[in-house]
Amino acid sequence: MILARLALRNLLRQRRRTALTLMVVVAGFLALSLAGGFMAQTFQGLSDAAIRGGLGHLQVMPPGAMEGDEAQSLEKALPDGEALAARLRQDPAVAEVLPRIQFMGLLSSGPRSVAFLGTAVDPVLEPRHMASAEALKGGAKAPGGAGSRWISADPAAREVILGVGLARALGATVGSSLTLMSTTRDGALNAVDVDVAGLQDLGLRELNDRLLTISLATADQLLDAAQARSRLSVVLKRPQDTAAEQARLQALLPEVSVKPWFELASFYRQVKLLYFAIFGFMGLVLFLVVLLATANTLLMSVMERVREFGVLRAMGLQPGQLLVLLQWEGAFLGLMGSALGLAATLLLRAGLNALHLQMPAPPGTSHGYELNIHLVPAVYALVALGLQATIQVSALFPGLKAARLRIVEALRHV
Amino acid sequence: MLELRAITRAYELGGERAGVFGVSLEVPKGCLAVMAGPSGSGKTTLLQLAGLLDAPDEGEVLLDGEAVSALPEKARCDLRLKRLGFVFQAFNLVPVLSALENVMLPLQLQRVPDGEARRRAEAALERVGLADRRHHRPGQLSGGQQQRAAIARALAPEPLLVLADEPTASLDHAHGGPLMDLMAELAAERGATFLVASHDPAVIARAHRVFRLMDGRLVEAS
């Protein structure tokens, strides 16, 4: 431990230089860990949006449903979807199963008709598990959206919820009567009259312009769906077990395809990849800065202590032990830097979150959101480990330089 | 105890060939031997060769009859750690350690337990009259005190051979004489062997043996 003591004493002796290097390490830690917290917030938001936007934790669908355009029709559906849903509800890991029908057609208001993408849901189960009500809040603020409410649970009610863009295109408001047209399971053209129960703002302009929601009972009348369902959204009791439950249920139900939400949420995956690329590059630059700053500090330290190293070698210190000495100095720089960086991160995170800053709407979406940098211990540990490894690497060159000093020359060094 | 056999170590200095050439000498156990000679006569080079800090081009160094100069670096490090002590002209104490910690350093490098290292270091400091300054750092000690701390550091591990390079050169006459008296006493007390490079008459006067060097060659042994 004498080498560790020597290393620590030397760092404390060169306080100004050590402080400057520590500032670089702290800045690196701060930037990376705050970015990690911001990424965690973004990923959490996106995953919540995907899961509560209708995907659930798992989706049960017919095999091949993801191929081609057929996903929007009942041609490729689960023919006994309701029975399968009832069976899945008995599974101890499943909290709820939400059957859905996806379809498309034309929506008419007098002379105007607009193509739509429709989703039929269970009007009772859906608001309990999905973010339907939140979308209605935004819709209520849109022109013609006042009085927006969720569709009635009465099977006799014929109601629809429109995306705000779709309503605008048709000039429809809450209470308007419209005609839904689509093809039945057998391919026949069919139509039903519906009343607009509410408008929904889904956050994405493209979705608002096309999407509508009706009840399964209304869809059954329009599409002659009977027991057929396009997909079943499965809500798990333990979301963290999604991957394991997917494998288990897939083995249990080989006749259907069971997919986890993260395989289906393409926007989530794309954003995740983009963030990893951006912050990965930023991290690389920061690690490089830390590497150079620490190497410079330790190299300067070696140059100033040539004679001291000569004496230590004369006393019998092995060349490798000088390498260890420099590694200890790097270790202390890393530990102190990470400890200070962690403290700075926690303080700054608390300060920034307390400001309730509103972030601008991400590209393609219509809502901003409040900055809430997450506390992610795993990221802090990863950043600390990365910085520590970087510093240990940066200590190698000065250490090798010290180890290669010739004793007689080192003792003559002025 | 220490024997140098036909040692040659040559190097270029200012375009001229310098070093030591064909030097043979013997220092018995418990002896305070001095290598005397003017600057550039090869005293320091010979001391470094004897201390295994450098390797001779020709000849060999024997410690207790064992040829050691051609040993691998690791074995020479071990020998320096366990059997040799060094006192340098510029003291060369580690500036971030106190006098006590400096003296404990070679013991700790030998993996002597902390408690015992402290006890032995305190005894060595007391012997050189620095017990009351043991917690001072080198920057807080006078030149004479630093050199005494350096001697304590060299002696605390109880080496067989202490090599001192111009130990009084940085000290005034009032401090140099007593320091040499101390080294002579320690040589007598502990049976430690001292090989000192110096051209200081006060040092030479206290030596049991004197080797005079001139232009890298041994010209007189008395």
Nearest chain B residue (CA) to A318: B77
- Tell me if B3 sits within 8 A of B61, measured CB to CB: yes
DSSP for A67-111, written as a single string: SSSGGGSSTTSBTTHHHHHHHHHTSTTEEEEEEEEEEEEEEEETT
What stretches of B114-172 show up as alpha helix (H) in DSSP?
A: 114-127, 143-155
Nearest chain A residue (CA) to B117: A2
Parallel, antiparallel, or unpaired: how do β-strands B193-197 and B32-36 relate? parallel
User: Using one digit for the tens of pLDDT, what is the confidence trace for B152-201?
Assistant: 898 888 888 999 988 887 777 777 777 788 778 877 777 788 999 988 88
User: Using one digit for the tens of pLDDT, what is the confidence trace for A107-140?
Assistant: 999 888 999 999 999 999 988 888 877 788 888 8
Kindly tell me if the per-residue pLDDT of A70 is higher than 50: no
Long-range contacts of A277-281 (CB under 8 A, 24+ apart): A279/A32, A279/A35, A279/A36, A279/A39
Parallel, antiparallel, or unpaired: how do β-strands B58-63 and B2-13 relate? antiparallel
Question: By mean pLDDT, which of A8-12, A91-95, A301-305 is the weakest?
Answer: A301-305
Kindly tell me if the per-residue pLDDT of A143 is higher than 80: yes
What stretches of A253-357 show up as alpha helix (H) in DSSP?
A: 261-264, 266-304, 306-314, 319-354
Distance in angstroms (rounded) separating the CA atoms of residues A312 and A317:
6
Q: Could you tell me the residue ranges of all domains in chain B?
A: 2-221
pLDDT (mean) for A393-402: 88
pLDDT (mean) for B57-70: 91
Model confidence, pTM = 0.73
- The phi-psi region of residue A236 (left if phi > 0; otherwise alpha if psi is between -120 and 50; otherwise beta) is beta
The minimum CA-CA distance between A414 and chain B, rounded to whole Å, is: 11
- Residues of chain B found within 8 Å of residue A315, distances taken between Cβ atoms: 80-81, 86, 105-106, 109
Interface test with B, best of A304, A408, A413 (most B CBs within 10 A): A408
Distance in angstroms (rounded) separating the CA atoms of residues A331 and A325:
10
Q: Quick one: pLDDT at residue A71?
A: 46
**Edge-to-edge strands of the sheet including B58-63?**
B16-27, B2-13, B58-63, B66-67
Q: Quick one: pLDDT at residue B52?
A: 93
Asked if B90's CB is within 8 angstroms of A307's CB, the reply is yes
Asked if B94's CB is within 8 angstroms of A311's CB, the reply is yes
Kindly tell me if the per-residue pLDDT of A192 is higher than 90: yes
Could you tell me the two tokens for A164? 């705000």
B219 and chain A: CB distance < 8 Å anywhere?
Answer: no
Residue A397's Cβ-side half-sphere holds a number of Cα atoms within 13 Å equal to 15
Distance in angstroms (rounded) separating the CA atoms of residues A123 and A132:
10
Rounded to two decimals, the ipTM of the complex is 0.89
Q: What is the DSSP letter of A53?
A: I
Q: Could you tell me the residue ranges of all domains in chain A?
A: 2-49+268-411, 63-255
Confidence of residue A72 (pLDDT cuts 50, 70, 90): low
User: Using one digit for the tens of pLDDT, what is the confidence trace for B174-185?
Assistant: 777 777 887 788
What stretches of chain B show up as alpha helix (H) in DSSP?
A: 43-50, 73-83, 99-109, 114-127, 143-155, 173-190, 201-205
Asked if A12's CB is within 8 angstroms of B94's CB, the reply is no
Looking at the domain that runs over B2-221, which CATH code has it been given? 3.40.50.300
Nearest chain B residue (CA) to A3: B109
CA angle centred on A123, ends A117 and A127, rounded to 5°: 95
